[in-house]
């Protein structure tokens, strides 16, 4: 069974194949074509942390492919009575064919995968990884630039706790990206990730200055400073509001440059950017549907035909 816990679980060839599959599934994702490839299959959607996009796009993906979804969260389940993750996973193993898990604890997705037979997809484990987000991010970048190869990408904001940037940076350097990591000092990308990126990648620069490289960027990937991960609220207050990208900041940007954000945003990405040609974040969130369809099919061993319609 094919789990997806980190981007290390996919080769570059598998990533490209999944993006191609997602491309073919776009009409199904939009609801223009019905393709019940997952009829009779049940997805366990397990969210022990808040989510709008990941939970809903997995549910949409499963339903548009004819499958069924069981939703479980900490509230309203026996987790609130103290049931362990191990025991909960044994139940999910019996009730569903595949499970998606989001959990506040780093390593919880791997722990769950080790505990059950069914495939597990990591939908975010604490400040660890978020590989299904990376797949939709890569899809969005490829749609905009026609390639994943050799792009200049700025990752901005909370790179310490930001699991989306941990997974995405890893994938991007494998496709030859030049990375500019922009964060306050206290929220720098963990040193072990930076050294891994440098060992694999072309060029990785760290800075606190958002404006310096905007004009040479192909992608600006903004992220929220994650208040919920700070052990001390005073530490959060010191860095909250450090970056605020506005439409005016993009005046000298390349015409093809895209602004992305995994969302939700707080105040780091101003609404003025929404109406520029650079904004891609709402499209990016929608791209969760076709990419997660492709991932569900892969993990369940379902072949997606070359012609879906
Ligand atoms: N991008 C993302 O993970 O969004 P949600 O937290 O709403 O799922």
Question: Quick one: average pLDDT of 173-199?
Answer: 96
Pocket test for ligand 1, best of 71, 124, 287 (most atoms within 8 A of CB): 124
Q: Crossing angle for the helix pair 163-174 and 191-200, nearest 10 degrees?
A: 10
Residue 37 domain flag? yes
Ligand 1 lined by 134 (C-beta under 6 Å): no
Q: Give every CB contact of residue 112 below 8 A, 6+ residues apart in sequence.
A: 85, 89, 99, 101, 103, 120
What does the pLDDT read at residue 309? Answer: 74
What does the pLDDT read at residue 1? Answer: 65
Neighbours of 28 (CB within 10 A): 23
Residue 306 domain flag? no
Q: Are residues 181 and 56 in the same domain?
A: no
Q: Are residues 50 and 98 in the same domain?
A: yes
Q: Are residues 138 and 25 in the same domain?
A: no
Written as six digits, the tokens of 8 are 């290390």
Q: Are residues 114 and 13 in the same domain?
A: yes
CA-proximal residue: ligand 1, atom 4 (nearest): 53
What does the pLDDT read at residue 235? Answer: 87
Burial of 251: CB neighbours in 10 Å, binned 0-12, 13-18, 19+: exposed
pLDDT, mean over the chain = 96
Q: Are residues 39 and 124 in the same domain?
A: yes
pLDDT tens digits along 17-40: 999 999 999 999 999 999 999 999
> By percentage, how much of the chain surpasses pLDDT 70?
100
Lowest mean pLDDT among 53-67, 138-152, 226-240: 226-240
Q: Are residues 137 and 125 in the same domain?
A: no
Q: In angstroms, what is the C-alpha Rg of the chain?
A: 19
Question: Quick one: average pLDDT of 53-57?
Answer: 98
Q: Are residues 274 and 147 in the same domain?
A: yes
What does the pLDDT read at residue 99? Answer: 98
Q: Are residues 88 and 53 in the same domain?
A: yes
Written as six digits, the tokens of 133 are 């987000």
- Exposure pattern of 113-135 as b/e (b: 16+ CB <10 Å)? bebbebbbbbbbbbbbbbbbbbb
CA–CA gap between residue 293 and residue 25 (Å, rounded): 7
Residue 1 domain flag? no
Domain count, the chain: 2
Q: Are residues 146 and 99 in the same domain?
A: no
Residue 67 domain flag? yes
Q: Are residues 137 and 273 in the same domain?
A: yes
Please, are residues 46 and 83 in contact by the beta-carbon 8 Å criterion? Answer: no
Residue 31 domain flag? yes
CA–CA gap between residue 14 and residue 10 (Å, rounded): 6
The whole-model pTM stands at 0.97
What band does 232 get if pLDDT is binned at 50, 70 and 90? confident
Q: In the beta sheet, which residues pair with residue 98?
A: 43
Residue 75 domain flag? yes
Please, are residues 219 and 260 in contact by the beta-carbon 8 Å criterion? Answer: yes
Domain span at 190: 131-284
Residue 280 domain flag? yes
Q: Are residues 23 and 39 in the same domain?
A: yes
Pocket test for ligand 1, best of 47, 49, 54 (most atoms within 8 A of CB): 54
pLDDT tens digits along 254-309: 999 999 999 999 999 999 999 999 999 999 999 999 999 999 999 999 999 999 87
CA–CA gap between residue 69 and residue 92 (Å, rounded): 12
Q: Are residues 91 and 21 in the same domain?
A: yes
Written as six digits, the tokens of 301 are 């061993």
Q: The domain spanning residue 14 has which CATH number?
A: 3.40.50.1370
CA dihedral 100, 104, 107, 110 (to 10 degrees): -10
Tell me: cis bond preceding 264? Omega within 30 of 0 counts: yes
pLDDT tens digits along 137-172: 999 999 999 999 999 999 999 999 999 999 999 999
Q: How far is the CA of 53 from the centre of ligand 1 (A)?
A: 5
Alpha helices in the chain (DSSP H): 12-24, 26-29, 53-64, 85-95, 108-115, 131-145, 163-174, 191-200, 233-239, 281-286, 288-299
Residue 179 domain flag? yes
In 3D space, the residue among 23, 98, 63 whose CA is nearest the CA of residue 301 turns out to be 98
What band does 228 get if pLDDT is binned at 50, 70 and 90? confident
In 3D space, the residue among 157, 112, 162 whose CA is nearest the CA of residue 134 turns out to be 162
Please, are residues 256 and 268 in contact by the beta-carbon 8 Å criterion? Answer: no
**What DSSP designation does 190 have?**
P
Q: In the beta sheet, which residues pair with residue 221?
A: 155, 260
What does the pLDDT read at residue 298? Answer: 98
Ligand 1 atom nearest residue 124's Cα: 3
Neighbours of 233 (CB within 10 A): 10
């Amino acid at each position: 069974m094919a789990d997806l816990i980190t981007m290390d679980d996919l080769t570059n060839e598998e990533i490209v194949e999944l993006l191609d599959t997602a491309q073919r599934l776009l009409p199904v994702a939009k609801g223009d074509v019905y393709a019940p490839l997952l009829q009779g299959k049940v997805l366990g959607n397990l969210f022990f942390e808040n989510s709008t996009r990941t939970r809903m796009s997995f549910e949409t993906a499963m339903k548009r492919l004819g499958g069924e979804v069981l939703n479980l969260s900490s509230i309203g389940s026996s987790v609130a009575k103290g049931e362990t993750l191990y025991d909960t996973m044994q139940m999910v193993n019996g009730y569903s064919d595949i499970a998606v898990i989001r959990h506040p604890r780093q390593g919880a997705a791997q722990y769950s995968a080790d505990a059950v037979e069914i495939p597990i997809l990591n939908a975010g484990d604490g400040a660890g990884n978020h590989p299904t987000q990376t797949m939709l991010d890569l899809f969005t970048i490829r749609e905009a630039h026609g390639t994943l190869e050799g792009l200049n990408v700025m990752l901005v904001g909370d790179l310490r706790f930001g699991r989306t940037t941990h997974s995405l940076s890893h994938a991007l350097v494998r496709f030859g990206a030049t990375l500019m990591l922009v964060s306050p000092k206290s929220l720098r990308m963990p040193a072990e990730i930076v050294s891994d990126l440098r060992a694999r990648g072309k060029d990785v620069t760290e800075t606190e200055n958002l404006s310096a490289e905007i004009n040479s960027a192909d992608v600006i990937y903004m992220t929220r400073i994650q208040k919920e991960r700070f052990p001390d609220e005073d530490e959060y207050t010191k860095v909250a509001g450090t970056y605020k990208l506005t439409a005016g900041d993009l005046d000298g940007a390349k015409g093809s440059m895209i602004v992305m954000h995994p969302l939700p945003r707080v105040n780091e990405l101003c609404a003025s950017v929404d109406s520029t040609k650079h904004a891609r974040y709402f499209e990016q969130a929608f791209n969760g549907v076709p990419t997660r369809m492709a991932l569900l099919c892969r993990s369940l061993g379902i072949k997606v035909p070359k012609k879906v319609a």
